[in-house]
Structure 1
């Protein structure tokens, strides 16, 4: 089949080659692919779910698809209550081994509609390479503080907010800076972007997959300390061991990057400290303050033309911020941080405002980014000269809310 389009006509007895052709067609437009028992195939395009197959797939067909993606033990593994998380690669062009399409695979046993013992397969498309750093059009204040010689940089946001893309683009910039060779090692679950840049002018990154190359994130700190890297990427700070590893590496002269699942920079301190026992929390908060250089939060709201745009909130942990936090118990740091975000106009409220003024974000998208109520969003936009962007039926919206 040449130039296949969606929805894709998967035959009843589809072969591995035909299934891969469906994946290639879906990958050409989508960020995520969903395959489930007794359901159509679906793809996510700019945050919207679109039908990807011309018919529903039987349970045995989804089992066959899982066999193509994983191996013959996949179905029994799901039956034992063990979900599958793995990395999948297929040839981008059949017979061409130079280019591959990569996916993050999750398969979970589930009830799907009326199918009691079904399978739900989610495949997140991993782009071949992160975008060039300059394409992200980051504010100069972020660029000025994103590449420290040592210390901790946190990139935060919810699932699907582009944290990994931003982090990989920053590392691509480091690798392509011919005058500053660096040794980069990453710890990821799974490995997402392949960081193959700057051949011959800097060491190629060593990317470790947790669960395959190393048992857990808790082992990453000890491993990294023995490898004498300049830059260490801890894919996610998800427990006390991985957070302690970030502290240790940052305090011993490494530039450390990690991601955290929180919504805004103001939530970082409480989230990171929460992994420690109550008596250990003050010491953990102080270590975080000693090592932290920059926090960037990112969201990807839908634009008025149906696409996505990155909106970022950030805080540079400079001397002014450190002094203000050091003078107060760590339980109050969230409120103080929010004050700095508003004062410096690096909160989501102020960063989304120009996009509303330019008609890129509508009223609802502004609310999604800022987490404001209808009343708060309307008042904020009116106060900042954007009353014309508040829906005319504001009263109806308020009553509905």
Structure 2
């Protein structure tokens, strides 16, 4: 392994993020005052920390991680000596598959990675760590001891409550953000509620009257949206509040009155390390043709995973990417790729209408927010067969169930042909769940996969997909059961055993995996 690649200063100048004279001033200050080059550039006002992290991430093709969104168990900390952490300004974060993720203030320091690999006995994956978060971690270790307890910067639940509540849409959405909730639910006759870590919580407000909800909804809808809702009796739309964030909203009718749901959409797309995504997912996203499905129940992060894959393509490929979403959640800037995002109802009438004309738009990558009907699935399969990469989400309970779900969309006389199509073009089904962390704050991902192979293709063609579930316990590369990742989460202390059992495919198999890892059940 080479000792050093291109220096950080050279990378920043080449990217146009700092000028050569600013670099020289910062280098001089670094010699006099110490610290990293990045710290000196920030202190002198030549660049913000956010711009530094984003610039390095984009130029080097390395993700950056936000320590406020992850936890580092003591078992992970013990893999690397505190002396190495301090001197090399790095931090072990966790595992992605068999690789140890290492947050680094200086991601060009490859000799530091060699040292970590020697100490830990694991191959490594570097991610960029901000100097501010690193210093915060050192302060945590100073106060609590290194490898003595889980490193966590997450805000305690008691501090999440908003200062003031009122029955206005802005006030309720502010409460949603303040509580770090996922969804806001409003119904006539019910107390406003927020879903936090998959648990519904009532706000300290009186039950809403039908007139209350109508007034709140009317305040956020445009005239065109009001007309669409009157015609269809339900409406999906995106809504933004300055200084607060973006929300994916749905209005519908129930018992002759209105009801409303809003989901808070993150301002920026979380990195793969923050989401807990395995490396192979990015590798599949960089393929040039085939079908990738991200599946799972509602509210378990499918759209966020899909946005992360689009961002990986945007960063590492030169491609024309066209998305069809309902509504647009994460917005992408054009980087190495062109990202054209189309919203159903605004830019195209339906998913099917958008897909029907998509081939004339010369796409390399087609992203479908949700595969939900016969026509959109049919066009997606044809596109994946004819040299395009197609990615989309699907509601299903497992990776294998996703295949049956797609087949069942078609009439019986077409299912044999569809099985053959799907067998030929399917690259990967990635099924995910979000589980409550052992600390009680935040959620962590468990996943399973079914990727293309001769045995998977044959099972799909012959209509024997159910047999693949049994093979998932045989430890084959293309079939990984969710029980395997649940066992990893329990053995590392990230998730409680009782929580893992709720999502296990087989509790018996989960117990066997835990015994192998030294966690006896």
Which residue of 254, 258, 265 maps to 1:110?
Answer: 254
SS at match of 2:247: strand
Counterpart Cα distance in 2 of 1:298 and 1:225: 30
8 Å contact kept, 1:42–1:53 = no
**TM-score, normalization by structure 2:** 0.63
SS at match of 2:293: strand
Say if 2:505 is the partner of 1:355. Answer: no
Which residue of 159, 171, 191 maps to 2:310?
Answer: 171
Q: Go from structure 1 to structure 2 and tell me whether the alpha carbon gap of 1:56 and 1:354 turns closer, same or farther (over 3 Å shift).
A: same
8 Å contact kept, 1:190–1:210 = yes
* Residue deviations 1:282-325 (CA, integer Å, cap 9, x gap): 11001001101111000001122122111110122034533x43
* Residue deviations 1:84-140 (CA, integer Å, cap 9, x gap): 3222222126xxxxxxx22121222224xxxxx543211111122221234334323
Match of 1:246 in 2: 380
Counterpart Cα distance in 2 of 1:244 and 1:145: 22
Match of 1:317 in 2: 452
Q: Go from structure 1 to structure 2 and tell me whether the alpha carbon gap of 1:257 and 1:61 turns closer, same or farther (over 3 Å shift).
A: same
Which residue of 156, 159, 173 maps to 2:295?
Answer: 156
Say if 2:418 is the partner of 1:284. Answer: yes
Q: Go from structure 1 to structure 2 and tell me whether the alpha carbon gap of 1:74 and 1:152 turns closer, same or farther (over 3 Å shift).
A: closer
Q: CA deviation at 1:269?
A: 1.9
More displaced stretch, 140-149 vs 238-247: 140-149
Match of 1:293 in 2: 427
Q: CA deviation at 1:26?
A: 2.4
Q: CA deviation at 1:65?
A: 0.6
Match of 1:88 in 2: 239
Q: Which has the larger radius of gyration?
A: 2
Q: CA RMSD in A?
A: 2.9
Q: Go from structure 1 to structure 2 and tell me whether the alpha carbon gap of 1:261 and 1:65 turns closer, same or farther (over 3 Å shift).
A: same
Which residue of 215, 222, 225 maps to 2:349?
Answer: 215
8 Å contact kept, 2:323–2:366 = yes
Could you tell me which runs of 5 or more consecutive residues in structure 1 were left unpaired when the two chains were aligned.
Answer: 94-100, 112-116, 391-401
8 Å contact kept, 1:108–1:120 = yes
Say if 2:275 is the partner of 1:136. Answer: yes
Q: CA deviation at 1:348?
A: 0.5
Match of 1:51 in 2: 202
Matches within 5 A, 1:310-349: 310-322=445-457, 324-325=458-459, 329-330=462-463, 332-336=464-468, 338-340=470-472, 342-344=474-476, 346-349=480-483
8 Å contact kept, 2:275–2:444 = no
Match of 1:192 in 2: 329
8 Å contact kept, 1:155–1:297 = yes
Structure with the greater relative contact order (CA < 8 A, sep ≥ 6): 1 or 2? 1
SS at match of 1:310: strand
Match of 2:337 in 1: 202
SS at match of 1:335: helix
Counterpart Cα distance in 2 of 1:85 and 1:300: 24
Q: Go from structure 1 to structure 2 and tell me whether the alpha carbon gap of 1:309 and 1:371 turns closer, same or farther (over 3 Å shift).
A: same
More displaced stretch, 354-363 vs 139-148: 139-148
* Residue deviations 1:343-394 (CA, integer Å, cap 9, x gap): 2272111111021112222232112221446xx3785467545664x4xxxx
Count of paired positions? 359
More helix by share: 2
Matches within 5 A, 1:227-238: 227-238=361-372
* Residue deviations 1:153-182 (CA, integer Å, cap 9, x gap): 1111111111110010111122123xx321
Q: CA deviation at 1:280?
A: 1.0
Q: Go from structure 1 to structure 2 and tell me whether the alpha carbon gap of 1:278 and 1:341 turns closer, same or farther (over 3 Å shift).
A: farther
Match of 1:183 in 2: 320
8 Å contact kept, 2:491–2:519 = no
Matches within 5 A, 1:58-73: 58-70=209-221
Q: CA deviation at 1:337?
A: 5.2
Match of 1:98 in 2: none
8 Å contact kept, 2:294–2:394 = yes
Q: Go from structure 1 to structure 2 and tell me whether the alpha carbon gap of 1:387 and 1:169 turns closer, same or farther (over 3 Å shift).
A: closer
* Residue deviations 1:22-67 (CA, integer Å, cap 9, x gap): 4234223221112232333221121122333443333322221111
Q: CA deviation at 1:71?
A: 5.1
